[in-house]
Amino acid sequence: MTRSWFVAGTDTEIGKTFCTAALIHTARRHGLVTLGMKPIAAGADMIAGERINEDAASLRRAGSFDPGLELLNPICLSSPIAPHIAAEEEGVAIDEARVLNAYAQLCSRADAVFVEGVGGFRVPLGPTLDTADLAVSFGLPVILVVGMRLGCINHALLTAEAIRARGLTLAGWIANQIDPHMLRFDQNVQAIETRIGAPLLGTVVFHADGNPASVEGLSIPD
């Protein structure tokens, strides 16, 4: 039986992909055949005949093997803008059935799958669909990546509330040090830890080299 999680973030550009890749490497070190999935991505370049999103490429490199972008990143939009705007401009419909079918195929080939959302937890994907709806469709326990910077306590607690309001389980959270100069870093982590009601899976210190394989100390939720 495949173990899977949905990885959400408190905002965009808070290191969600980096932490997802680090979780993949952690699971692989535990002997699990592990893949990452980026169901929807916005912003891509044509490389060797493939439309490749940078986040999807990071998850592709981190995985136990390459399942192909059709499964790993079934919906890839070209423009690096809000996905609902990019989808409208490019005439692309966000097809949940296509996404869930790709996920099912990944599960049939792996012991563990980490599904990374796009942006924050409530990013619009269309006129009536947002990332939270997508998370509900997956029905997976959620790992929340908190970008540690000024304001992160409020963002973390509000996102945790939103996750639970959708009937989802918050399996744990990661404190990701995106600002190496953040004042009172430890106190901010402690403030979130005592209020969020979910286990801290690890603190990811700032990595100047951007290598998720070098991250140590992360836990995989039960």
DSSP string, 105-133: HHHTT-SEEEEE-SSSTT-B-SSS-BHHH
Predicted confidence (pLDDT) at residue 67 exceeds the cutoff of 90: yes
Phi, psi of 165 (to 5 degrees): -65, -25
Distance from C-alpha of 186 to C-alpha of 211, rounded to nearest angstrom: 23
Question: What is the model's pLDDT at position 48?
Answer: 84
Determine the average pLDDT of the residues in 1-21: 96
Task: Give every CB contact of residue 140 below 8 A, 6+ residues apart in sequence.
Answer: 4, 5, 6, 115, 168
* Cα–Cα separations (whole angstroms), residue 120 to 91, 130, 164, 192: 23, 10, 15, 18
Predicted confidence (pLDDT) at residue 104 exceeds the cutoff of 90: yes
* DSSP assignment string, 73-106: SSEEESSSS-HHHHHHHHT----HHHHHHHHHHH
Tokens linked to 190: 């402690």
| Residue of 25, 38, 60, 155 with catalytic role | 38
Question: Tokens 């059709």, residue?
Answer: 70
Phi, psi of 119 (to 5 degrees): 65, -145
- Amino acid code (one letter) for 47: I
Q: Is 16 a catalytic residue?
A: no
Question: What is the model's pLDDT at position 50?
Answer: 87
pLDDT digits (tens, 9 = 90+) for 122-132: 999 999 999 99
Task: Give every CB contact of residue 49 below 8 A, 6+ residues apart in sequence.
Answer: none
Predicted model pTM = 0.96
Determine the average pLDDT of the residues in 173-183: 96
Distance from C-alpha of 16 to C-alpha of 143, rounded to nearest angstrom: 10
CA-nearest of 52, 40, 132 to 84 is: 40
Predicted confidence (pLDDT) at residue 222 exceeds the cutoff of 90: no
Distance from C-alpha of 79 to C-alpha of 91, rounded to nearest angstrom: 12
Distance from C-alpha of 130 to C-alpha of 109, rounded to nearest angstrom: 28
